[in-house]
Amino acid sequence: MTQPSVVVNDTTLRDGEQTAGVTFSAEERIAIARALAAAGVAEMEVGIPVMGPEECENILAIASLGLPSRLMVWGRMCEPDLTAAASCGVHFVNLSIPVSDIQIRHKLGRDREWVLDTISHFVKHAQDMGMDVSVGGEDASRADPDFLLRVVDTAQAAGAQRFRFADTLGLLDPFITYNRIRQLREATDLELEMHAHNDLGMATANTLAAVLAGAGHINTTVNGLGERAGNAALEETVTAMHHLYNIGTGIDSCHFPEISRLVSIASGRPIPVNKSIVGDAVFTHESGIHVDGLLKNPLNYQGLAPETVGRSHKLVLGKHSGTSAVMHAYATIGITLTEFEAKDLLARIREHAVVTKRIPSAADLERFYLEAMPCASVQS
Ligand SMILES: CC(=O)SCCNC(=O)CCNC(=O)[C@H](O)C(C)(C)COP(=O)(O)OP(=O)(O)OC[C@H]1O[C@@H](n2cnc3c(N)ncnc32)[C@H](O)[C@@H]1OP(=O)(O)O
Ligand SMILES: O=C(O)CCC(=O)C(=O)O
Determine the average pLDDT of the residues in 61-75: 98
- Cβ-contact 202, 173 below 8 angstroms: yes
| Secondary structure element (H or E) that encloses residue 98, with its range | strand 92-98
Verify that 80 and 227 share a domain, yes or no.
yes
Q: Which residues line ligand 2 (CB under 6 A)?
A: 15, 94, 96, 136, 138, 164, 166, 168, 195, 197
Domain boundary among 233, 267, 301: 267
Verify that 321 and 258 share a domain, yes or no.
no
Q: How many angstroms is it from 351 CA to the middle of ligand 2?
A: 52
pLDDT tens digits, one per residue of 113-122: 999 999 999 9
Determine the average pLDDT of the residues in 185-193: 97
Please report the pLDDT score of residue 375 as a whole number.
74
Atom of ligand 2 nearest to the CA of 14: 7
Give residue 105's domain range: 7-267
- 345 belongs to a structural domain: yes
Verify that 259 and 288 share a domain, yes or no.
no
- 378 belongs to a structural domain: no
pLDDT tens digits, one per residue of 16-40: 999 999 999 999 999 999 999 999 9
Ligand 1, from 73, 96, 110, 197: best to mutate by most atoms within 8 Å of Cβ?
A: 96
Beta-bridge partner residues of 231: 197
Ligand 1, from 11, 19, 48: best to mutate by most atoms within 8 Å of Cβ?
A: 48
Instruction: Quote the crossing angle between the two packed helices 256-267 and 26-39, to the nearest 10°.
Output: 160
Please report the pLDDT score of residue 2 as a whole number.
47
- 245 belongs to a structural domain: yes
Q: How many angstroms is it from 52 CA to the middle of ligand 1?
A: 13
Average pLDDT value for the chain = 96
Please report the pLDDT score of residue 4 as a whole number.
56
- 111 belongs to a structural domain: yes
- 13 belongs to a structural domain: yes
CA-based max dimension of the chain: 88
What CATH number is given to the structural domain containing 39?
3.20.20.70
* Of 56, 123, 118, the residue nearest 85 (C-alpha): 56
- Which ligand is nearest to the Cα of residue 97, counting in written order? 1
**pLDDT confidence tier of residue 379, bands split at 50, 70 and 90:** low
**pLDDT confidence tier of residue 373, bands split at 50, 70 and 90:** confident
Nearest CA to ligand 1 atom 20: 51
Verify that 83 and 146 share a domain, yes or no.
yes
Verify that 225 and 256 share a domain, yes or no.
yes
Ligand 2, from 95, 195, 198: best to mutate by most atoms within 8 Å of Cβ?
A: 195
Determine the average pLDDT of the residues in 240-244: 97
* Of 150, 154, 217, 162, the residue nearest 189 (C-alpha): 162
Verify that 255 and 292 share a domain, yes or no.
no
Atom of ligand 1 nearest to the CA of 107: 45
Please report the pLDDT score of residue 378 as a whole number.
66
Domain boundary among 213, 234, 267: 267
- 272 belongs to a structural domain: no
Domain boundary among 234, 267, 300: 267
Verify that 148 and 253 share a domain, yes or no.
yes
- Cβ-contact 187, 194 below 8 angstroms: no
pTM of the full structure: 0.96
Q: How many angstroms is it from 238 CA to the middle of ligand 1?
A: 31
Atom of ligand 1 nearest to the CA of 50: 18
Verify that 297 and 223 share a domain, yes or no.
no
The number of distinct structural domains making up the chain is 2
Verify that 251 and 292 share a domain, yes or no.
no
Please report the pLDDT score of residue 153 as a whole number.
98
Q: Which residues line ligand 1 (CB under 6 A)?
A: 15, 18, 48, 50-51, 76-78, 96-98, 107-108, 138, 168, 227
Verify that 119 and 19 share a domain, yes or no.
yes
- 235 belongs to a structural domain: yes
Verify that 106 and 234 share a domain, yes or no.
yes
- Cβ-contact 184, 163 below 8 angstroms: yes
- Cβ-contact 242, 208 below 8 angstroms: no
* Of 142, 138, 153, the residue nearest 108 (C-alpha): 138
Verify that 81 and 181 share a domain, yes or no.
yes
**pLDDT confidence tier of residue 380, bands split at 50, 70 and 90:** low
- 2 belongs to a structural domain: no
Beta-bridge partner residues of 84: none
